[in-house]
Amino acid sequence: MKTRVLALVCLLLSMPVWAQEVKIDIKEFMFGPKDLTVGVGTKVTWVNDDQIPHTVAETHKVFRSAALDTNDSFSWVFNTPGEFEYFCALHPQMIGRIVVTQ
């Protein structure tokens, strides 16, 4: 038992404090939230809550999802600080922005 507790403590201490997971909903032809600020190491997951397909495509081709059907998701871990603008390739009026800070 003592070994298990020690192993768990070591595992928790080795996990970065800044690592997070954030969800962006795709609904009614919008990304929500549209603008987001996260720390380096954050995993962002887009989930399509619409009845039609959508994509997530970064403006400078850093990341791009396949077409996401209803309830499908796409995730990306932001390991570099900066500003990332994205859109739906099927509906280019749908835009969003993620700012990644140190």
- Fold adopted by 17-101: Immunoglobulin-like (2.60.40)
Block mean pLDDT (10 aa), the chain, length 102: 50 52 98 97 98 98 98 98 98 98 94
For residue 3, the model assigns a pLDDT of 57
Domain boundaries, the chain: 17-101
For residue 2, the model assigns a pLDDT of 64
Give the count of beta carbons closer than 10 Å to the beta carbon of residue 31: 22
What is the SS3 assignment for 34-56?
Answer: CEEEEECCEEEEEEECCCCCECC
For residue 57, the model assigns a pLDDT of 98
Rounded Cα distance, 2 and 66, in Å: 46
DSSP letter at 5 equals H
For residue 9, the model assigns a pLDDT of 41
φ/ψ of residue 68, rounded to 5: -105, 115
